[in-house]
Structure 1
Amino acid sequence: MSISAGVAPKVAVLGAGFAGLAAATRLADAGVEVTVLEARKRIGGRVWSEQVEVQDRVCTIERGAEFVLNGYQAFRALGERFGLALVDTGMSYYVRSLAETPSITTEALAHAGQRAAEFARDLGRAASVDEVLSSLGFPEEVDQALRARIEISSAAPAVEVSARALDQIASFAPLPSHRLAGGNQRLATELGRRLGAAIRLGEVVTAVEEREDGFRVRTATGEAHFDGVVVALPLGVLLHGAVDVPLNPDRRAAMSRLTQGHAAKLHVPLASPVATSAVMSVPGRFWTWTAVDDAGTVAPVMTGFAGSTPALAGLEIARGPRQWVDAARSIRPDLTFADSRSMRTSMGERTDVDGDAVLTTWSDDPFALGAYAAHSADLTAADQRALEGGAGALTFAGEYIDPDFTGLMEGALRSGHRAADALLARTRPLACLR
């Protein structure tokens, strides 16, 4: 990608999730002519906030990514840029009581998690979470609790997840957890407002073709020429070949050594006021919580999250939310679930509302084909470099790329900035663009 005298290069950004929006905004701020092609009729991707009415009160539910965690520097900086307020949820994503084995304290589980993380660091070679836990020989109940925590958070079986993830996933420090007031999708909305008409919704990209003079991007409705391309499509879409994108052998091999996670979320209305809470089911491989919203009190909604394909199968997610609701009732006798049809919603795509429950999945969404990614044990440092690297004026962005915040909103934003910076490095001097 090069600059002709005073002429801004044209860049296509494929996808208007957090990664694509972060890349597009960075490029637009530098004077690049950006076109964002998004298959959905909305922006935000797997960050999806909905308004629901429960007990005559409007609440925000996060049908996708939810918690703003420790170290979310890019997220917080963008929030400050657009004047978006963070809400302390009053509970901690990192601390969950065990429904079936309450005798195992949070402190005991934290100690076991720290031992596992230290063992993985001292091992001196790559290993899976399963290998590390099997080597330590924890008591069965502690072992299963750790596995459940890791599999839920990774959205994948422990045998498929790198033990390097233990440093982050096995953290049980009671750090605060936040959300954006009014929903995390508000950040996407503000980024989209900055980009304006550069975003084209309902544009399903089918192929990217590299040519001598740039790139031809084909969609279901036509094609256009660009000087550069940022591919900010979900890993599942790329792995399944849903879009024909040039992938060099190193990148393709690295992507094959990532673990595609599969997860589901559940929202159920409550009939009476509650306190904040976080309770995990070890055999069910899901956890539930209640949290403070921007009204300053605990919202009358229980949220659930189940991670890994075996967990979703065990809860019979493919048949709807009924079995999961029953399982949640069994571990949450402290909650009074509301009567059927007590939660009124105005849902967008992929609605699954069954009585009083809202179920959200991503693996059956053709524009996602999975939740988020995790590193497998055999992902090497060379693989990580291949994931982060670009091929000339073709760069990639997505939560699966970032090495430190893999699978998280922060990772998506950082990868978008990194992809944009790689393109901008090829467009000097930038002064002529401003």
Structure 2
Amino acid sequence: MTTRERAAGDPGVVVVGAGYAGLTTASRLADAGVDVVVLEAGDRVGGRVVSELTGSGVRVDHGGQWIGPTQRRFHALAARFGCATFPTWETGRHVEVWHDGTAVDYAGAAPDDGPGIAEYERVTALLDELASRVDLDRPWRTPRFEEFDARSAEEFFRAQTSDEDALVRLALAIQGVWCAEPREISLFHVLFYLASAGGYEQLMETRGCAQDARFTDGADAVARAMAAALGDRVRLGDPVRSIRQTADGVEVTTGRTVVRAARVVVAVPPATLERITFDPALPADRLGWARHSPMGRVAKVHAVYDTPFWRAHGRSGIATLYGESPVGVVFDNSPEDASRGVLVAFVYGDRLDRWAALDDAARREAVVSALSEVAGAEAKEPVEYLEKIWPHEGWTVGGYECFVKPGGWTAHGRDGWRAPAGRVHWAGTETASVWNGYIDGAISSGERAAGEVISALDAVEQRG
């Protein structure tokens, strides 16, 4: 009996997790004729990408939501399943609210002038220069790898500039992309990530960059379509408790059953590994990598209005806030037909810790007050208000992605990043070389993991 012709009821491969990485892995395996089952702890697919149809009929994305032109794998899947996109709204004047309450309207990527802008642009150009030398497939071969990994982003920023306003701008950039504080993240991880996306501007800007477009039916529309195509191969509400490697395969134990297979692909966030018992225990580097890769701290808050009234006032709804407000960044998240107005506010890092400790009414008041600075007094009266505080999510343990702490790449990256552990393979956006941390990266990681498994199964068949 070959590994692709296992006993009735036993799949050839188990995939743990039904986010984009897990679904891509399963789809590729199924297309190759491998019998596969996907075990998902939650009651839905999509993982860190989740949309909701609100009471007022607006679909909002609580997790990842955007797609950019160079995210080609994501575009290909969207086209395959007929999932439409539309441009992110950016027409009108953006606004920047400084720590003293000063609000400055501007067009384009940033104000022409303002506190710390010149130094901010100089330091970010240096980041791009350093990132251009990163080896994306073997990061540890990057020049000055250990030196950069030993430093936090904050240490690097402070070594480059004493301009406190520039440092505030740089901090918000770190918070916005990684949902972490500059002191927490490895400088090398920042450089790797920039290289993975194609540069600093790709991460930060809207048109032609990572925030270029949104999905008409929510960013999880593609995931839902992929799951529908996989059919009963996807099992929801079935958390994996343990994975045991045996002489000829793996035994995956869930809350309901034991599934035996030739291989398993684990496609969950690194922090979630602590919830699964492995026998034998995972290699020290894999555990070390996971423990050096915490999830970010972020909340995503949507305020829904009867209309996108700020557009009539010439505002785009895009804003950055540098003061004491919990909100760091705002976007116009209205539906394509503008049948309702929606502003989405992001609360990051240390600001999240303080804001999340407030009661419901105080949290709401803090956010709508910030939105009124961006869009006007009408923003204080939304018809709907929705929060998603990602560190409170049971299975994700934070959002939307992990970041790597200083020293993590050096100590554990070579063997802990994505190298298989026997019959256990790894997928997930954190294991991607291109668009690491994004949905496109999750998709490419699933393609890579499926390729590893198919090669391993074929090697066994050839020996047999």
Tell me what 2:233 maps to: 198
1:317 is displaced (CA, Å) by: 5.1
Structure 1 counterpart of 2:213, from 163, 178, 183: 178
In 1, the alpha carbon distance for the partners of 2:286 and 2:272 equals 15
When residues 147 and 12 of structure 1 are mapped into structure 2, their CA distance, relative to the original with a 3 A threshold, is: same
Task: In structure 2, list runs of 5 or more residues that go unmatched.
Answer: 134-142
Task: In structure 1, list runs of 5 or more residues that go unmatched.
Answer: 344-356
In 2, the alpha carbon distance for the partners of 1:285 and 1:132 equals 25
Q: What's the secondary structure of 1:159's corresponding residue?
A: coil
Structure 2 counterpart of 1:242, from 252, 256, 275: 275
Number of aligned positions between the proteins: 409
Q: What's the secondary structure of 1:425's corresponding residue?
A: helix
Structure 1 counterpart of 2:387, from 343, 347, 359: 359
Contact 2:271 2:290 in 1 (8 A): no
Structure 1 counterpart of 2:427, from 391, 397, 402: 397
Structure 2 counterpart of 1:163, from 187, 199, 203: 187
Tell me what 2:356 maps to: 316
In 1, the alpha carbon distance for the partners of 2:14 and 2:45 equals 16
Deviation larger for 133-142 or 223-232: 133-142
User: Is 1:279–2:319 an aligned residue pair?
Assistant: yes
In 1, the alpha carbon distance for the partners of 2:173 and 2:339 equals 24
In 1, the alpha carbon distance for the partners of 2:340 and 2:431 equals 34
1:375 is displaced (CA, Å) by: 2.8
User: Is 1:59–2:41 an aligned residue pair?
Assistant: no
User: Is 1:117–2:119 an aligned residue pair?
Assistant: no
Q: What's the secondary structure of 2:379's corresponding residue?
A: coil
Tell me what 1:39 maps to: 41
Q: Deviation string for 1:196-242 (max 9, x for gaps)? A: 0101111111111111121111111221211111111222211xx21
Q: TM-score, normalised by structure 1?
A: 0.85
Structure 2 counterpart of 1:263, from 298, 309, 325: 298
Contact 1:86 1:181 in 2 (8 A): yes
Tell me what 2:161 maps to: 137
1:358 is displaced (CA, Å) by: 0.6
Contact 2:11 2:260 in 1 (8 A): no
* Structure 2 residue identity aligned to 1:362: W
Q: What's the secondary structure of 1:208's corresponding residue?
A: strand
1:319 is displaced (CA, Å) by: 3.1
1:332 is displaced (CA, Å) by: 2.0
Tell me what 1:368 maps to: 396
When residues 69 and 106 of structure 1 are mapped into structure 2, their CA distance, relative to the original with a 3 A threshold, is: farther
1:189 is displaced (CA, Å) by: 0.8
In 1, the alpha carbon distance for the partners of 2:4 and 2:294 equals 42
Q: Deviation string for 1:333-366 (max 9, x for gaps)? A: 43622646x23xxxxxxxxxxxxx2110221222
Q: Deviation string for 1:1-48 (max 9, x for gaps)? A: 963679896111111111111111111111111111111111111111
Q: What's the secondary structure of 1:130's corresponding residue?
A: helix
User: Is 1:288–2:298 an aligned residue pair?
Assistant: no
In 1, the alpha carbon distance for the partners of 2:339 and 2:126 equals 34
In 1, the alpha carbon distance for the partners of 2:33 and 2:53 equals 35
Q: What's the secondary structure of 2:416's corresponding residue?
A: helix
1:431 is displaced (CA, Å) by: 11
Deviation larger for 106-115 or 75-84: 106-115
Tell me what 2:136 maps to: none
* Structure 2 residue identity aligned to 1:324: A
In 2, the alpha carbon distance for the partners of 1:258 and 1:400 equals 9
Deviation larger for 384-393 or 25-34: 384-393
Higher helix share: 2
1:289 is displaced (CA, Å) by: 1.2
Contact 1:317 1:324 in 2 (8 A): no
Aligned Cα root-mean-square deviation (Å): 3.0
1:70 is displaced (CA, Å) by: 4.5
